Homo-oligomer: A and B are copies of this chain.
Amino acid sequence: MDSQNVLSVLARKLRADTLLSREDQEAVFALPIRRQTLEDGVDIAREGERPGRACILLTAYAFSHKTTSDGRRQVLAFHVPGEMPDVQSLNLKVMDETLTTLATGEVAFIDHGDLRAVCHRHPSLADAFWRETLIEGAIQREWTLNVGQREGASRVAHLLCEWFVRVGAVGLATNGGCRFPVTQNELANAVGFTPVHVNRMLQELRGAGLIRLAGGRLEILDWPALSTLADFDPRYLHLDPDETLGA
């Protein structure tokens, strides 16, 4: 896999084909990167740091999180391949969250200097990166709604729906199933429940024949029922280019 193919995951994420010009796309592919394989549980950037580079997930999964002073941890977002989970550091120097890998996989690093240069030369690329951060914001809002207002199985189900759709959007879901390298503990930290309670909610979902979840894989057995229970409406993911850009 040469450098160009590597960055095609990023291009896909930026919806380069529909939203960017040919020159902009080439500028993306020309970005100098450094590839690296990271094990799971590695901190890519920590709260309080001032990173000098940004990261692209190639095959790696990651999550960002933050803890309260008495040690309670909240998972703020999950990140799937193709994403740049820390683009924000380009304009907000000090990290206010920690970014950690979820499973062993490959990432690419780009220096902030190179990113700034390419944004300067290709303003619509800057817009594309800006848009990515805005979509992350929209997802964060839905998480707040999920954690604040939905209860029990519905809350857990919503998270699973989002995961499945987002993983599917980068082409990594196959006929109703996808990877899910998330422990119940991390899942609990993401929805604001206790691991014990998450376990019970999962069994409720399993018992209702909605999902299968084991060995790091998630299978959706009844999408209509699951997404209804979850009150899941994918519009907040802004996956449709027309929805995100249309006049």
Partner of A245, one of B93, B133, B134, B235: B93
Bound: A164/B126 CA distance, A: 34
Chain A positions 120 through 158: 1 when the CB is less than 8 Å from some CB of chain B, otherwise 0: 100100110011011111101111110111100000000
Q: Is A74 an interface residue (CB 8 A)?
A: yes
Distance between A78 CB and nearest chain B CB, rounded to angstroms: 13
Instruction: List, in ascending order, chain B residues with CB within 8 A of A141's CB.
Output: 64, 66, 76, 96-97, 140
Check A92–B144 contact: CB distance below 8 A: no
Chain A positions 157 through 197: 1 when the CB is less than 8 Å from some CB of chain B, otherwise 0: 00000000000000000000000000000000001100000
Of the stretches A3-11, A22-30, A236-244, the one at the interface is A236-244
Chain A positions 223 through 247: 1 when the CB is less than 8 Å from some CB of chain B, otherwise 0: 0000000010101101000011111
Bound: A48/B238 CA distance, A: 11
Instruction: List, in ascending order, chain B residues with CB within 8 A of A96's CB.
Output: 138, 141-142, 235-236, 238
Distance between A130 CB and nearest chain B CB, rounded to angstroms: 5
Bound: A137/B235 CA distance, A: 18
Bound: A48/B246 CA distance, A: 12
Copies of this chain per assembly? 2
Bound: A73/B245 CA distance, A: 27
Check B144–A68 contact: CB distance below 8 A: no
Chain A interface, number of residues (Cβ within 8 angstroms): 52
Of the listed residues A120, A130, A133, the one surrounded by the most CB atoms of chain B closer than 10 A to its CB is A130
Q: Is A217 an interface residue (CB 8 A)?
A: no
Q: Is A50 an interface residue (CB 8 A)?
A: yes
Q: Is A2 an interface residue (CB 8 A)?
A: no
Bound: A93/B140 CA distance, A: 17
Check A91–B131 contact: CB distance below 8 A: yes
Q: Is A208 an interface residue (CB 8 A)?
A: no
Q: Is A18 an interface residue (CB 8 A)?
A: no
What residue in chain B is nearest A233 (Cβ atoms)?
B69
Check B147–A192 contact: CB distance below 8 A: yes
Bound: A123/B130 CA distance, A: 13
Check A88–B134 contact: CB distance below 8 A: yes
Distance between A244 CB and nearest chain B CB, rounded to angstroms: 6
A246 in contact with B93 given A74-B145, A143-B144, A147-B192 (CB within 8 Å): yes
Can you show 8 pairs from A to B with CB atoms below 8 A apart? A66-B142, A74-B148, A88-B134, A94-B238, A97-B141, A140-B141, A143-B144, A148-B192
